[in-house]
Structure 1
Amino acid sequence: MKKTVITACSLVLAAVIGSTGCGKISLKNPNMKNSETNSELKTEDNTEVKTETNTETNTETNTGATTEAKTEAKTEETTEAKTETTTEAKAETTAEDNTEANSEATSEVNAESNTETETNTGSTQNIDEEANAGGRIIDYDGYKLDQVVILSRHNIRSPLSGGDSLLGKITPHEWFNWTSAPSELSLRGGVLETQMGQYFRQWAEEEELIPTNYHPDNGQVRIYANSKQRTIATAQYFTAGMFPTAGLPVEYHMEFDKMDPVFTPQLTFWTDEYEKDAKDQIYEYYADAMKSLNDNYELLSDVIDLEESNGFKDQSITAFTAGDEEFSLKEGAEPGVSGSLKTACSVSDALVLQYYEESDTQKAGFGQELTYEQWKSISEIKDVYGDVLFTAPMIAVNVAYPLVSEIYDEMNTDGRVFTFLCGHDSNVGSVLAAIGAEDYELPNAIEKKTPIGCKIVFTKWSKGSEVFWSADLVYQTPSQLRNMPILDTDSNSPEIFHISFKNIKQNEDGLYKADEFMKIFLDAMDSYESLYQEYVEKAA
């Protein structure tokens, strides 16, 4: 297996840790629910930033959590796939963001505000989101932070397919002028990820996990990414912000821009009986969610003016209809779906990315002033797509097995201080589902499951001789994604959403005992082995 490394310092961007402000908000009682508040936002004043985004389509995961912080916030990638050219169109999707599909996968979205207003070509849009009033950190009084393991979705990319494929045929409107090639990390994505790295550096230094200007010894830090451009670049930018003077390498194992099996949400075993039972489980869990998408489809069709598109006129693309989906489950391939859900997911992904990139919200909506609720409705198509393909239990433990094993090994590697694994929304969703996370919807986000750039942050804490773990989703809000303010722990932090699990309980401080936390990973791996024995060995 090929192992390649690249260094981080070459991609350092000019984004510096800044400012002071409101006091820090620590996560003390993760059982308190975060609330969403309504606030109004006008669109941002004519500042234009070109950036890319890519359509990733197989999304990720029903997983959950409740979280608290003295001002709380919750936190939320998917898989790239060959999308569709005619009624569906060929487009890339990789194991990522809540919208990536068969060969690779999806995309995601988020939004935020401080009862703030952005100005858009003269119009006002209602934003239903929780105000981010200051700094938030993952912190537990009386405990010492000993280790961090992060599974990240890549940051903002261009859509997975170019304008000459499905996206160019399905609307008469012109898409945003993306700043990267299809599926690759955008300029905005690089800046945002550098800021996230700086935020984590400031937090890790304050928690005394690492010293200032940390140069780790061999084996203390590992940076490992899927071999796709957007994941390698995301890891590179994050490392530049987190360890700016250390020159750390980014490890990837496959030929450049090819999928690594560890990060590919593919079925590692399959039989006819398994396929039948897994499809039945998908419908058991998500039939209602799929049937309820007609209103979402109607809104999406109206925004893109579907009936005025060349594809609709030449009948290569048809109207979106809930219930016309057909699933494909095969060994060595990612779970797939055809029909309206797949096509609409590709368009939903591109629109959400366009919303993050385009400073004029009216242009982002192809001339329409969409409300925050309408943006969430558009993004919900991606969320359902990701859940359907990657989070049913029989699917999740199968596709996530390699990455669950990788995370478990990182948590138990002697001397490891910090691990950064970079993949896709489908990875985030399937891993959370496989290890039994409670269902959730993220606050202050358009993408409610695995927003672009989101990170599962596993943290190890000690108190005397006792050892504990915690899990949180950390993500930038839509306002942060659009406006790119400097992140810091004092006045402008990303959102943090504490994750709860079905089979283990937290202590009074919101932490999980180490042996019980390790068991949810071992149970996920055991479930995989049990399914394999039940279906493959029985079939043999």
Structure 2
Amino acid sequence: MRLIARLSAFALALSVAAPAAAQQPGDTLEKVVILSRHGVRAAMSSPERLETATAKPWPRFGVPPGHLTANGGALSTLFGSYYRDLYAKQGLLAGADCGAVYYWANVTQRTIATAKALGEGLSPGCAVDVHTVGEGKIDPLFEPVKAGVAKPDLALARASVAGRVGGSLAAWSASHADAIASLDELLMQCDAAPCPKAQGKRRVYDEAPAFLDDADETVGIAGPEAFASGVTESLLMAWADGQDFASLGWKDLDEASLLRVFPLHQAEFDLRLRAHEVARTGAGHLASRILATLETKPGKDAMGDPKAKMVVIVGHDGTLAMLGGLLGLEWAAPGYQPNQIAPGGNLVFERWKRADGVRVIRVRYAVQSLSQLREKTPLTLAAPPEASPIFVPGCSQAGAGYDCPAERFAAVVKGAVAR
């Protein structure tokens, strides 16, 4: 127990120090691009549908399926306020410059509302103008295939996914036996898996691993992991929203039980979306736009006014997952699975000019912990969100912050997209 406590304290110390650790005397922060997942939303499925997979009633969110909740908005504003404090301290933001931050969101209620909520904290006193492609249109940043800016090679994409599991999902799925048992016990509220079958209930054990022939460019799979993905995400959203499961008769639902079932969702997400051919198609256009925005002389694909010091892009967990897979970005945060993207989690790209005159890109993943989400904990420089500095393969150097020379970062992005 003492060792665990020491390791936890060490991890916390790293996460707290991460945003400021890389800054050295004489370093100047010039530009920031934040790619964020939307905040806490209602489950995508109806409570009635979710209850076919659980023994106990499901909480009601009070907003339509998939919409940002009131708590989700408040949590995003807390995150925005933290960034305001951080970047004011680091000299990027000053005064009431309402043109300093440019906001872009996908055309869904939860992404637009998240961007507005972030802006309330990040741009206080300003009218937050959230830019989108317009209602009823398809945004190529988030759906490049449907928008016609990317053409998938479905056979190659499916091969790139299947090749990660030796062409068969059976052994891969079998490696998740402990998490499958934990989820069955949690959902069906029994003492030991497999829980008894119940009429009208869907069970995680009843799902056979298989690739889906009719899937789109992201490559679909069936099985316990796919079954668990939507259910565990709904559990996460309800927990982060502060829902009272105990009053509905649920037992043993806490952070520890969530951590035991998170691997199923993350395994499914990682397999489908971080495979390189899938990620290249799904995130290549986005990566090029982010690169253009970070360049000292913004290219034609740069987002926002070139004078804007920050660009905030709000999308979905798949958005971050595919970009991470494309560039080989890996991260971890206490309480979550490696590369897991919790509500409001974001990838931060910063362009710094070091004291030696070299411009570098520093990347990190930042996220509110489960406790910070559920308790709506204010975020401050003394009590920040969790942060994970990211090493960019083929680019980053040793040292705090994993500096990635800007010219090399451009070559890595262009190379990844071109492949």
Aligning the two structures, in what range does the TM-score lie when normalised by the shorter sequence? 0.7 to 0.9
Alignment match, 1:80: none
| Cα distance change of structure 1 residues 496 and 329 upon mapping to structure 2, 3 Å threshold | farther
CA offset at residue 339 of structure 1? Answer: 3.4
Alignment match, 2:36: 152
- Helix, strand or coil for the counterpart of 2:349? strand
1:169-225 Cα shifts (integer Å, max 9, x gaps): 222311122132111111111001001111101111111112122222xxx532110
| Cα distance change of structure 1 residues 344 and 272 upon mapping to structure 2, 3 Å threshold | closer
- Helix, strand or coil for the counterpart of 2:92? coil
1:243-287 Cα shifts (integer Å, max 9, x gaps): 11221310011426x752321375843456425523432424995
Q: Is 1:280 the equivalent of 2:159?
A: no
Alignment match, 1:214: 97
- Helix, strand or coil for the counterpart of 1:457? strand
Alignment of 1:358-397 (within 5 A): 358=242, 360=244, 362=246, 367-370=250-253, 372-397=255-280
| Cα distance change of structure 1 residues 493 and 318 upon mapping to structure 2, 3 Å threshold | closer
Q: 1:485 aligns with which of 377, 386, 402?
A: 377
CA offset at residue 229 of structure 1? Answer: 0.7
Q: 1:320 aligns with which of 205, 218, 233?
A: 205
| Cα distance change of structure 1 residues 455 and 370 upon mapping to structure 2, 3 Å threshold | same
Alignment match, 1:194: 77
Say if 2:141 and 2:285, in contact at 8 Å, map to a contact too: yes
CA distance in 2, matches of 1:194, 1:286: 44
CA distance in 2, matches of 1:316, 1:495: 37
- Helix, strand or coil for the counterpart of 2:387? strand
CA offset at residue 521 of structure 1? Answer: 1.1
| Cα distance change of structure 1 residues 392 and 279 upon mapping to structure 2, 3 Å threshold | closer
Cα RMSD for the two superposed structures: 3.1
| Cα distance change of structure 1 residues 387 and 328 upon mapping to structure 2, 3 Å threshold | farther
CA distance in 2, matches of 1:149, 1:270: 27
CA offset at residue 336 of structure 1? Answer: 2.2
| Cα distance change of structure 1 residues 320 and 223 upon mapping to structure 2, 3 Å threshold | same
Say if 1:325 and 1:341, in contact at 8 Å, map to a contact too: no
1:346-393 Cα shifts (integer Å, max 9, x gaps): 1111112222233657458x5222464432121111111110110011
Alignment match, 1:231: 111
Say if 1:289 and 1:384, in contact at 8 Å, map to a contact too: no
Q: 1:351 aligns with which of 235, 248, 263?
A: 235
CA distance in 1, matches of 2:155, 2:232: 33
CA offset at residue 334 of structure 1? Answer: 3.8
Unaligned runs of 5+ in 2: 191-196, 299-305
Q: Is 1:71 the equivalent of 2:13?
A: yes
Alignment match, 2:141: 262
Unaligned runs of 5+ in 1: 1-34, 40-67, 74-131, 528-540
CA distance in 2, matches of 1:153, 1:242: 16
Say if 2:240 and 2:373, in contact at 8 Å, map to a contact too: yes
Q: 1:523 aligns with which of 406, 415, 418?
A: 415
Say if 1:178 and 1:186, in contact at 8 Å, map to a contact too: yes
Say if 2:349 and 2:364, in contact at 8 Å, map to a contact too: yes
> Among the aligned pairs, what percent are the same residue?
21
What TM-score do you get using the length of structure 2 for normalisation?
Answer: 0.84
Alignment of 1:325-474 (within 5 A): 325-328=210-213, 333-358=217-242, 360=244, 362=246, 367-370=250-253, 372-412=255-295, 413=298, 414-437=306-329, 439-445=330-336, 449-464=340-355, 465-474=357-366
Q: 1:243 aligns with which of 120, 123, 147?
A: 123
CA distance in 1, matches of 2:214, 2:36: 26
CA offset at residue 316 of structure 1? Answer: 7.0
1:104-160 Cα shifts (integer Å, max 9, x gaps): xxxxxxxxxxxxxxxxxxxxxxxxxxxx7x996465112111110110011111111
CA distance in 2, matches of 1:361, 1:168: 13
1:451-499 Cα shifts (integer Å, max 9, x gaps): 211110100111253211100011111111011121111x211111000
| Cα distance change of structure 1 residues 447 and 270 upon mapping to structure 2, 3 Å threshold | closer
Say if 1:291 and 1:322, in contact at 8 Å, map to a contact too: no
CA distance in 2, matches of 1:135, 1:392: 28
Alignment match, 1:107: none
CA distance in 2, matches of 1:266, 1:299: 37
Letter in 2 for 1:498: P
| Cα distance change of structure 1 residues 327 and 306 upon mapping to structure 2, 3 Å threshold | farther
Alignment match, 1:92: none
Say if 1:235 and 1:250, in contact at 8 Å, map to a contact too: yes
Letter in 1 for 2:53: I
Alignment match, 2:193: none
Q: Which has the higher contact order (CA 8 A, sep 6+)?
A: 1
Say if 2:73 and 2:117, in contact at 8 Å, map to a contact too: yes
Q: Which stretch shifts more, 276-285 or 335-344?
A: 276-285
CA distance in 1, matches of 2:338, 2:98: 36
